[in-house]
């Protein structure tokens, strides 16, 4: 147990869902565009940009290149998603919004923590 590379395992465990979310953004962009707030023009573009950001963050975390910056930006993005996309639904009594809110909030917190650990 002493030689178990927990840092590597943790990075991979955090990055794999990000990769899955990125793929989902690329393969279901038109369906996900409905979640983009109405004040954003061309919602599908924001879905693709989000997918690219998730993919870049996942790769950066795994290979530890610019990971400090990537995790800080990821944390900001996820916190904004929690507050702008999911919190209004939670406040309106939509129970479906709560898991998304909690997921994005917890993943944002983990991203901020990771940004404090990386040294690049």
Over residues 36-46, the pLDDT tens digits come to: 888 889 999 99
pLDDT (average), residues 111-120: 94
pLDDT at 64: 94
Packed helices 43-63 and 67-81: angle between N→C axes, nearest 10 degrees: 140
Residue 120 reports pLDDT greater than 90? no
pLDDT at 4: 72
Average pLDDT, the chain: 94
Over residues 46-95, the pLDDT tens digits come to: 999 999 999 999 999 999 999 999 999 999 999 999 999 999 999 999 99
Using CA atoms, how far residue 107 sits from 22, 30, 33, 59, 90, in Å, is 15, 24, 22, 16, 18
Residue 17 reports pLDDT greater than 90? yes
């Amino acid at each position: 147990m002493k030689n178990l590379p927990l840092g590597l395992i943790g990075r991979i465990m955090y990055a794999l869902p990000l990769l899955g979310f990125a793929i989902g953004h690329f393969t279901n962009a038109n369906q996900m565009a409905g979640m983009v707030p109405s004040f954003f023009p061309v919602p599908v573009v924001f879905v693709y940009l989000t997918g690219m950001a998730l993919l870049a963050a996942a790769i950066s975390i795994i290979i530890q290149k610019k990971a400090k910056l990537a995790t800080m930006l990821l944390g900001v993005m996820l916190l904004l998603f929690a507050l702008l996309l999911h919190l209004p639904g939670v406040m309106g009594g939509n129970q479906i919004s709560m898991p998304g809110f909690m997921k994005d909030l917890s993943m944002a917190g983990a991203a901020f923590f990771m940004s404090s650990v990386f040294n690049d």
